[in-house]
Structure 1
Amino acid sequence: MCSSSWSRLDFTESVTVVAGGKIGQKKRFTVYKYIITAHPEFFRAACNGGFEEAKDKIVRLPEVEPETFGCLLHWIYTGHIVVMNEEDIDATERQAPSLRYVALVELYALADKYGEPRLRNATIDQIIELADTTEIFPGTGVVDIACNKTSRRSNLRKVLADYYNACAELEWLLDHQDELAAEFYFEMAMRMKEGINDSPNVNNKCRYHEHNDDVPKCS
């Protein structure tokens, strides 16, 4: 017997999302409305009349890079994060994954803005797994993006602060002190005060996760 609690998904109604604000860099995405409304709070409002764009079924995101929105959309559809295709990762990026770190931090910032704790957790997992695989923690440019685009005491900042506390030598920190924001040094100090002195890794990644009624604790 079929359960009456299930409804057939509607593939007939879609929304056009225009990401990017610069001429020549805008990109249009056609998205099924039911998928969008089931996820980020912004889109739920946009598609249900909370924004003027909803009347024309067009949502404009001029402040969001098309590549970052594409990563968000890929995660919404598949549940997996892909910031770079395997064939696009050259030898330099494979050795020092700066582009992938930047893309992951941008994705976390987008998930932070749209209220997606599951995506924030998944993005942190990807950052930790990437650091474990390459044995290179995120550089100062990545930290700068995180400080500019995420809130204080965000879990992303905690991850980065723990890497620098555990992995960066004092001499290196002194040589690069002008490259790190004062608020990041504050985060590093807070983490040490909280008794966290080990590096993030795949075995302790759950301590950087957010959990609530919709996001159960890790098993």
Structure 2
Amino acid sequence: MEIPSPTGSDTSTSHSTHQDVTEPPRRSPRHGRSPNRPSLRTNFRNFSGVATIIVGEANSKTRPQTTYLVHKELITQSSPFFAAALNSTFAEGLDQTVRLPEENPESFEWFLQWLYTGTLTVQPTSSTDSIYPRSSTHPNIPLTHSDGDLRNSAGSPKYFLLLDLYALSDRLLTTPLSNHILTTLARLSESTNSVPTPSDTWILYDTLPRSSPLQRLILDLFAYKKTDRLLETHKDDWHPRFLRDLVVKLKRPGPEAVDRHSLVAWRPRSWSASKACEGCKEVCKPGVSVDKCCGCEKVFCPECLRRHAGEGWTLPNDTSGCKPWMGKGMCVRYHDHGEGEACG
């Protein structure tokens, strides 16, 4: 069956400057990361202090100065950045006021929504959840439009909004929010069969550090979806580092090329029941044990798996079937957790 090519979100905007092209390393643990977001139900009774957060600049058209009153206990428990500022003996701690002139009030309001609700979406009621169908390929993804302002009037994801919010979350060290944004972006891409646009790649590469898991996720979206026509025909320019990293990924896929599959031992009983190895393309002999994916049913011979473990995967055309951002791969490959932590 022919899989339709994904479309680009048509609402993204960014302002950027060209930078030298360098290859992003793999993710390493973050320092100063935030703990899990505290539960409002059990902690709200203990909230007594209020902090003033002033976002934007006076007389700015793009970042109009806006003042927010936020529960101090909640924001300091969720963000090491605010904890350091508001619990210090400097002006911010004495005045209980933090000024963020370089930040955008709209992004900060999305941060506040997550801070107080734990989500970026509109929670569907039980009645609306039951009337919407679910994806035939991914039953865990409801085909509802519960995303509110995360989509435009045509239903396309506002990827630029999530990218800007991720950059803010990175600066505030709120890793639970960053993980939530990664999951939300992957879900939107999968449920709408879309990918970010060229202007989004400028935000991605000009506002985030090289080790950002979000860069790796978006590279995977482009590598494992049919995006060749979009890349070729889009009228806007893609960020050069994004194109460079994508070419490298397609020529030299990473561990997820095999790790995305759920492999189990399999032994074909006859030639008619056998399959060709996805690596060497040789038909597996009946009675000989190989590995088979429980999801997409692709087969891999022991020699190709050994070659992958020793030299890295060398199958640039193997981009169909299982996707690295689905299921447990989302947490393992992209999320940032402390030692012993994982998604629930």
Give the TM-score range, shorter chain: 0.7 to 0.9
In structure 1, the residue corresponding to 2:120 is in which secondary structure? Answer: coil
Single out whichever of 9-18 and 184-193 deviates more from structure 2: 184-193
Tell me, which stretches of 5 or more residues in structure 1 are unaligned?
A: 1-5
The 5 A counterparts of 1:93-108 are 94=155, 96-97=156-157, 100-108=158-166
Mapped contact 2:182–2:214 kept (Cα < 8 A): yes
User: What is the aligned counterpart of 1:210 among 321, 326, 336?
Assistant: 336
The 5 A counterparts of 1:13-52 are 13-23=49-59, 25-49=64-88, 51-52=90-91
Mapped contact 2:49–2:72 kept (Cα < 8 A): yes
Tell me, which stretches of 5 or more residues in structure 2 are unaligned?
A: 1-41, 123-145, 258-318
Cα distance change on mapping 1:90 and 1:188 into 2, 3 Å: closer
Deviation at 1:11, TM superposition (A): 2.9
Q: Report how many aligned residue pairs link the two structures.
A: 209
Q: Which residue of 2 aligns with 1:64?
A: 103
Mapped contact 2:113–2:120 kept (Cα < 8 A): yes
Q: Which residue of 1 aligns with 2:187?
A: 129
Cα distance change on mapping 1:191 and 1:209 into 2, 3 Å: farther
Q: Does residue 112 of the first structure (1) align with residue 148 of the second (2)?
A: no
Q: Which residue of 1 aligns with 2:216?
A: 158
Q: Which of the two has higher C-alpha Rg?
A: 2
Q: Which amino acid aligns with 1:208?
A: Y
After superposition, give the CA deviation of every residue in 1:45-87 in whole Å (9 maximum; x if it has no partner). Answer: 1101264222211111111111111111221222112499737
Mapped contact 1:68–1:103 kept (Cα < 8 A): yes
In structure 2, the residue corresponding to 1:129 is in which secondary structure? Answer: helix
Mapped contact 1:17–1:60 kept (Cα < 8 A): yes
RMSD value over aligned CA atoms? 2.9
Mapped contact 2:198–2:239 kept (Cα < 8 A): no
Single out whichever of 144-153 and 44-53 deviates more from structure 2: 44-53
Q: Which residue of 1 aligns with 2:298?
A: none
Q: Which residue of 2 aligns with 1:3?
A: none
Mapped contact 1:20–1:66 kept (Cα < 8 A): yes
Cα distance change on mapping 1:160 and 1:51 into 2, 3 Å: farther
In structure 2, the residue corresponding to 1:91 is in which secondary structure? Answer: coil
After superposition, give the CA deviation of every residue in 1:105-145 in whole Å (9 maximum; x if it has no partner). Answer: 11111111122221111000010111112111111111111
Give the distance between the partners of 1:29 and 1:172, measured in 2 at CA: 41
Q: Which residue of 2 aligns with 1:11?
A: 47
Deviation at 1:8, TM superposition (A): 8.3
Question: Share of identical aligned residues, percent?
Answer: 28
Give the distance between the partners of 2:45 and 2:178, measured in 1 at CA: 26
Cα distance change on mapping 1:51 and 1:72 into 2, 3 Å: farther
Give the distance between the partners of 2:248 and 2:89, measured in 1 at CA: 39
Give the distance between the partners of 1:88 and 1:118, measured in 2 at CA: 18
Single out whichever of 15-24 and 172-181 deviates more from structure 2: 172-181
Single out whichever of 46-55 and 151-160 deviates more from structure 2: 46-55
Give the distance between the partners of 2:65 and 2:181, measured in 1 at CA: 24
Single out whichever of 37-46 and 178-187 deviates more from structure 2: 178-187
Deviation at 1:167, TM superposition (A): 2.6
Q: Which amino acid aligns with 1:212?
A: G
Mapped contact 1:117–1:210 kept (Cα < 8 A): yes
User: What is the aligned counterpart of 1:79 among 118, 126, 131?
Assistant: 118
Give the distance between the partners of 1:125 and 1:18, measured in 2 at CA: 29
Give the distance between the partners of 2:226 and 2:240, measured in 1 at CA: 16
